Amino acid sequence: MNELSFKITKAGQNSGIIVHATLIDNNIEYSNVIFSDYIHEMFNNQNNFNNDEYMGPDFQTLDEKLQEELQNYFESLGVNSELASFVQVLTVDKDQRLYLNWLKEVNKFI
């Protein structure tokens, strides 16, 4: 299971959306979709959200048709099961490389 956030913008605009999701196997479970007029700043400072920004409703509480349309939109942009699978494999690979480096550093220290 991995957490994933991505932003969608249009060229030359500061507004856009941030999507938060969880990857479980090859499935993408969306948690919320945030709209902001200052999407780049918001995405870069995700841990320091402005209290005035509406974080959007829980994705599962949206009308089923709207959920479906948003999922279709994300898929048209390449956010699909293939991407989820790639991220999962990449995450395992990165974790393994970090672990091996950690072992080397601990070995040097000891």
pLDDT at 47: 57
**H-helix or E-strand containing 36?**
strand 27-36
Which residue, 36, 1, 5, is CA-closest to 20? 5
pLDDT at 48: 58
More confident residue, 80 or 25: 80
Is residue 67 pLDDT above 90, yes or no? yes
Number of domains in the chain: 1
- Residue 42 lies in domain: 2-109
Do 53 and 39 contact (CB within 8 A), yes or no?
Answer: no
CA distance 53 to 97: 37
Query: What CATH number is given to the structural domain containing 78?
Result: 3.10.280.10
pLDDT at 96: 95
Predicted model pTM? 0.77
